[in-house]
Chain A
Amino acid sequence: AQKVTQAQTEISVVEKEDVTLDCVYETRDTTYYLFWYKQPPSGELVFLIRRNSFDEQNEISGRYSWNFQKSTSSFNFTITASQVVDSAVYFCALRAGAGSYQLTFGKGTKLSVIP
């Protein structure tokens, strides 16, 4: 069975602070994919990043960066110099099993960036 844990339910930061959202996953599959999605108040889930289990390189995209560590089964997401527009609920998700599109989501972390 797959499981994703986002221990932080809500985080508040002041604008321009850095913030890290934690994600821990569980799977017995050796091939799997990890994702981060952003859900603004409008409701749709916006894709941020995908990582496969064979690629542990960290990635940076502008103010966003991701730290994937298989040894600790973690896939953490850092926002540098946060902005008010970053306020949203962020979901970490796991897809495992060949040919399956099923995503297992964490409960989400609600990030509030205060001006």
Chain B
Amino acid sequence: KAGVTQTPRYLIKTRGQQVTLSCSPISGHRSVSWYQQTPGQGLQFLFEYFSETQRNKGNFPGRFSGRQFSNSRSEMNVSTLELGDSALYLCASSLRSGDTEAFFGQGTRLTVV
């Protein structure tokens, strides 16, 4: 059974540009969550999608957005990139109810220069 796949693994962008990251959850999983990991702030919740609907959103500016497709694949987009957006972006998929563990991908390392 394939795990959570995130693409690309590494990305370098320039300030002001926008970026789209992709996450394919484990087959059959319908929930996808995104997290940002930085040395200073640690792991912070961005948003969660379940059955194509955003259910929760963390405390991030509107430049961060996401969506989920009917096949449960998810994308997150960051517009007008800032240096502080440099981080490891992790995606997690879950099967159903809140007591199941989340399975994480290897992340996308975004560097903004």
Instruction: Give the B-binding residues of A (Cβ under 8 A).
Output: 33, 35, 37, 42-47, 50, 52, 91, 93, 95, 97-108
Contact = CB atoms under 8 A, between A and B. Distances in A.
B70 interface: no
Given A43-B90, A45-B104, A47-B101, 19 more contacts: A44-B106, A47-B104, A50-B100, A99-B98, A100-B48, A101-B31, A101-B33, A101-B55, A101-B92, A101-B94, A102-B56, A103-B33, A103-B35, A103-B45, A103-B102, A104-B45, A105-B42, A107-B42, A108-B43
Contact of B104 (A44, A104, A108): A44
A104 B56 CA distance: 13
Nearest to B4: A44
B99 A52 contact: yes
Q: What size tier do the contact residues of chain B reach? A: 20 to 34
B50 interface: yes
A33 B99 CA distance: 7
A83 to B, nearest CB: 23
Contacts of B88: 43
Contacts of A42: 106
Contacts of A102: 33, 45, 48, 56, 58
Interface string B7-38: 00000000000000000000000010101000
> Interface centre among A33, A50, A97, A100, by most B CB within 10 Å?
A100
